[in-house]
Amino acid sequence: MTYRSMVTEGGRVLAAAGVPEAELDAWYLLEYLRKERGERSDRQWYLLNREDEARAEEEKAYQELIERRAKRIPLQQITGEQEFMGLSFWVNEHVLIPRQDTETLVEEAMGKVKSGDQVLDMCTGSGCILLSLLKLVPGLTGTGVDISGEALKVAVENGKRLQTEASFLESDLFEKVEGSFGLIVSNPPYIASEEIPTLMEEVRDHEPIGALDGSADGLEFYRRLVREGKEHVKPGGWMLFEIGCTQAEAVMEFLKNGGFLDVYVKKDLAGLERVVGGRRPKQEERNDV
């Protein structure tokens, strides 16, 4: 079978299984297979060699990859890799796959910190938010917190891959956190429990439910983050959260009731409300209130 036939048949199998962007995933799996074998795998190679006959063992290995994707295992869990903020992160079934939506949170955070600041990333998962900040903003130090020890193993490995120093702590939110930070950032579980069964199979069946389920109304983690975390924000420091697109008003109210100032919402590239932030008052501002 030629490489072109392999990719065409792979795309057909994935499309029949209901996989979104089936043809693109079929190509990515061939690219991944050849890359893992130390062979050239870019588009130019494919265009020049697509009519060549694939080796029998290569065809068999490719079919096995297609079968896994047809079971709706996320492409990123098969390849073990996802790009985020221009950086490559290792992912597996123990962490959420970094999404472009979350880059809005990182971009907002970059505008709130400066060299010398300490950052806390709550519900860190793969570490993509914290490690991106430390990589892209010189002079920051940071800690990532997660309740999942398996997720923290992924975050630690990503720190090594990116040659970026960060500390990681296993804790139920702020239970074991000490000290205060110039910025607390979080992409917590925020999907309402009853909505979980309606998610795409890739998400519902293969990503960690504990990183998705935000309680009955999807807001419990925001309540706890503000209630338990506000004293861990330095005066003048910020709390920034990724939110679901209908949650801005409620989360903004939590921050206002928690005494935060300059509370605002930021939309993502699709025009959806994606980030909510607030600033802890400085001492003189508290006196004015």
Q: What value does the CA radius of gyration of the chain take, rounded to a whole number of Å? A: 21
Q: Is 187 annotated to bind ligand?
A: yes
Tokens of 183: 């910025």
Give the CA angle between residues 192, 193, 195 to the nearest 5°: 70
Give dist(CA 29, CA 51) in Å, integer: 18
Q: Is 188 annotated to bind ligand?
A: yes
Give the CA angle between residues 248, 126, 89 to the nearest 5°: 115
For the chain, report the end-to-end CA distance as a whole number of angstroms.
Answer: 74
Determine contact, residues 241/225, Cβ cutoff 8 Å.
yes
* Conformation bin of residue 133: beta by default, left when phi > 0, alpha when psi is -120 to 50: alpha
Q: Is 189 annotated to bind ligand?
A: yes
**Which residues, at least 6 apart from 178, have a Cβ–Cβ distance to it below 8 Å?**
none
Which parts are annotated binding residues for S-adenosyl-L-methionine? 146, 187
Which parts are annotated binding residues for substrate? 187-190
Which parts are annotated binding residues? 146, 187-190
